[in-house]
Amino acid sequence: MDSKQIEQIIEDEGIEKYRAEQIRQAIFQEHASSFNGITTLKKDLRERLSEKYPLLSFELYRLFESSDKTTFKALLKLSDGKIIETVLMNPKPGHWTTCISSQVGCALACTFCATGTMGLLRNLRSEEITDQVLFWRQFIGERKIAERLNNVVYMGMGEPFQNTKNVFDSLDELMNPDTFHMGARHLSVSTAGIVKPIYQMADRFPQVNLALSLHIADDEKRTELMPINKAWPLAKLAEALTDYIEKTHRKVFIEYILLRDETDKRDNAKQLIKYLKTIKPTHLVHVNLIVYNETESSHKQTSKDHARWFKNYLEENGISATIRKNLGRDIDGACGQLVVQQENI
């Protein structure tokens, strides 16, 4: 459900226009799960709308909860029967973040990512993207596990910048003061490195956070891990990120996955430092180090001690870095694990 659909329902059903605000308030602020729960509407109207218009563009297929109750993963069945995944995480007390999908599957075939094994089935519509946020808002309200959802990250299934129109439309909706009313700085978009939308995002959404999945600073090896690098090599990415920083004056986040004996060696760290210093100003570049979550690929996980060494080495050489806290491993909800078995789709 989004602002456009509410306007269409008001028009199609001949409802008084002032009712639109009552509906928006109930759905987006009070987290009603159906029109039947909007008590400001007359009973017969509630029943009619509830029968005709579901508030979500999908239904819950399965829900998983981590043993420490810091992570929830939902499998959502779309209207055409396809399945997507979305995750709700509690990385620190009082803060809840959702990782949402922008496509069913992914076409990029990054060798370390489970979603890439699916291939691309289709793009998600803007409403299907924002409904993931609405779903978790309803979930938080029903479970009473938090006061609110703090952050939204486009880092689930799919490459957001291969679905730019719907992703950008969904960002507009999430920032719409009449509906989701989220601040731009609470939204983040992660890309594997499609250049043109980086320039577009700098112009259209200068306050939304940008993350680049880099993972290695060597063109030949990056192309092996991420075939997309062949079309948009490292030099092109550096130009786009420098332009982004010049226009927005915002920090850029570099996602770097630590694969044992592949991306975690001293030479890899030196290459990364050299590369990041070509992005100006370098103090606005921050590296998120990710300890790999092993899937069915041949890649192996680096040790936590070695990850700490890698982080310290970057910092000693002037690069800001953190090690991302991996949540939801026991429910396959962590980075690189979002995948749905083909028989479920």
Whether 296 sits among the annotated catalytic residues: the reply is: no
DSSP β-ladder status, 151-154 and 187-191: parallel
Q: What is the pLDDT of residue 31?
A: 87
85 is known as an active-site residue: yes
| Mean of pLDDT values over 161-184 | 97
Average pLDDT, the chain: 91
CA distances from 7 to 47, 50, 277, 317 (A): 18, 16, 49, 54
Between residues 341 and 82, which one has the greater pLDDT? 82
Of 21-25, 217-221, 322-326, the least confident: 322-326
Domains of the chain: 1-55 (1.10.150.530), 60-344 (3.20.20.70)
Name the token pair of 252. 């850029």
Whether residue 185 is predicted with pLDDT greater than 90 in this model: the reply is yes
**Which residue among the candidates 85, 128, 159, 255 is catalytic per the annotation?**
85
Asked if residue 281 lies in contact with residue 239, where contact means CB atoms within 8 angstroms, the answer is no
pLDDT at residue 271, as a whole number: 97
Beta bridge partners of 54: none
Q: Which of 239, 255, 335, 343 is catalytic?
A: 335
What pLDDT is stored for residue 6 in this prediction? 92
Quote the pLDDT of residue 325: 77
Instruction: Please name the residue that has the structure tokens 């760290």.
Output: 269
- pLDDT, tens digit (0-9, with 9 covering 90-100), for 229-275: 999 999 999 999 999 999 999 999 999 999 999 999 999 999 999 99
Residue 293 pLDDT > 60: yes
- Long-range CB pairs of 306-309 (<8 Å, 24+ gap) are 306/258, 306/260, 306/264, 307/258, 307/264
Q: For residue 333, is pLDDT > 60?
A: no
Cβ 123 vs Cβ 102: under 8 Å:
yes
